[in-house]
Amino acid sequence: MSGSICRRVLVVEDEMMIAMMVEDMLTDLGHEVVGVAPNLKQALALAASAQIDVAVLDINLGGGERSFPVAQLLRDRGVPFLFATGYGTLGLEAPFQDTVTLKKPFQISDLGKAVEAVTATR
């Protein structure tokens, strides 16, 4: 992870295989995954209480749940985040249309660049 800072990362992803892949990528990039939340309830709890530097949020969490309430909570806390979704920017709601978004599938280098981009001012 040449020259980058280790970040504490929250991963919100309902697909366990994808969550594990993202967790592995973040670890390989030198970051620490402090939590993986597969649903809105767990994501909100972690987003409200965990010490995190950045979050990677899937938008659709299954069962009709979406991660936008988590994004708003993180925004209110001043914690940067990015979306990782199969829909790209087409799935973003109006208040979040300017948010860095990775379109699935993505490469480790794309994830690394996105994390650096959203945390650059911190």
Report the predicted TM-score, pTM, of the whole model to 2 decimal places: 0.93
Say which CATH architecture domain 8-119 belongs to. Answer: 3-Layer(aba) Sandwich (3.40)
Q: How many degrees, rounded to 5, is the angle at CA 119 between CA 2 and CA 115?
A: 60
Interval 23-41: pLDDT, tens: 999 999 999 999 999 999 9
Q: List, for residues 100-119, the tens digit of each pLDDT value.
A: 999 999 999 999 999 999 99
Measured CA to CA, the distance from residue 89 to residue 34 in angstroms comes to: 26
Using a pLDDT cut of 70, give the percent of the chain over it.
Answer: 93
DSSP string, 70-92: HHHHHHHHT--EEEEETTGGGG-
Q: What amino acid occupies position 74?
A: L
Q: What is the pLDDT of residues 37-47, one digit of tens each?
A: 999 999 999 99
